[in-house]
Amino acid sequence: VATALLLAGCVSPAVNGSGYRGKVQNSAKKMVGIIDSAQLAASLDVDRRMISQVTDDVVSKAETDAQSVLASLDSVQPPDDPAIGLRSRADDVLQPAASELANLRIAVRRQDRATMRSTVAELGRTLRKVQQLQDSV
């Protein structure tokens, strides 16, 4: 039983179209929370209501979490053609979010408030796209 449980835990389960849509929706939902967290911390920092180390910590964690969401979604095999299309749509929205979070982390560490402000605005636009993805799936 232990071996069976271990093997079951190691093998990524095969999903059908509906299951894949669920995974994309869940990834989008997680990404919304991640972007929001980093955006909130950076906005408070721009308003000088944060300690830069705390902002750095929250934004760096958000960046790591975003990479993890992407890696997790990439590890799932799309079961059919519509799912491959959905994967491509999700990548178009989620990848830029991850790289904007990296840009934000760089700006936070440099204490470049102008770039932080503009990156927060960019993240706001990306956030709306991610929310649209979440709602449309």
Partner 1 sequence: MSRLLQMTLGVVTAIGGFVDIGNLVTSGITGARFGSSLTWAIVLGTIGMTVFAEMAGRVSAVGGRAVFHAVRERLGVRVALVNMIASLFLNLLTLAAELGGVSLVLQLVTGVNYLIWVPIVALAAWLVIWRLPFSLLENVFGLLGLALIVFVIALFKLPTDWHALWSGAIHPVVPTGEGHPTYFFYAVSLFGACLVPYQVMFFSSGGREQKWTPESILDMRLNAIVGFPLGGILSVAIMAVAIPVLGPRQIDVSNLGEVALPVAQALGVTGLLLALLGFFAATFAAAAEAALSTGYMISQYFGWTWGKMHRPTHAPRFHLVCLAAVIAACAFILTTVDPITVTIVSVVLGAAAVPLTYFPILMVANDRDYMGRHVNKGLSNGLGIAFLLIMLVTSVVTLPLLFITKAGQ
Give the nearest distance from C-beta 73 to partner 1 in angstroms. Answer: 15
Query: 23 near 15, Cβ under 8 Å?
Result: yes
Among 19, 33, 82, 124, binds partner 1 (CB under 8 A): 33
| Of residues 63, 84, 59, the one with CA closest to residue 74 | 84
Close Cβ partners of 109 (under 8 Å, ≥ 6 residues apart)? 56
| Of residues 28, 7, 40, 122, the one with CA closest to residue 72 | 28
Stretch that binds partner 1, among 16-24, 30-38, 88-96, 112-120 (CB under 8 A): 30-38
Q: Lay out the site mask for partner 1 across 35-74 (x = CB under 8 A, - = otherwise).
A: -xx--xx--x---xxxx-xx-xxx--x---x---------
Residues that bind partner 1 (CB under 8 A): 29-30, 32-34, 36-37, 40-41, 44, 48-51, 53-54, 56-58, 61, 65
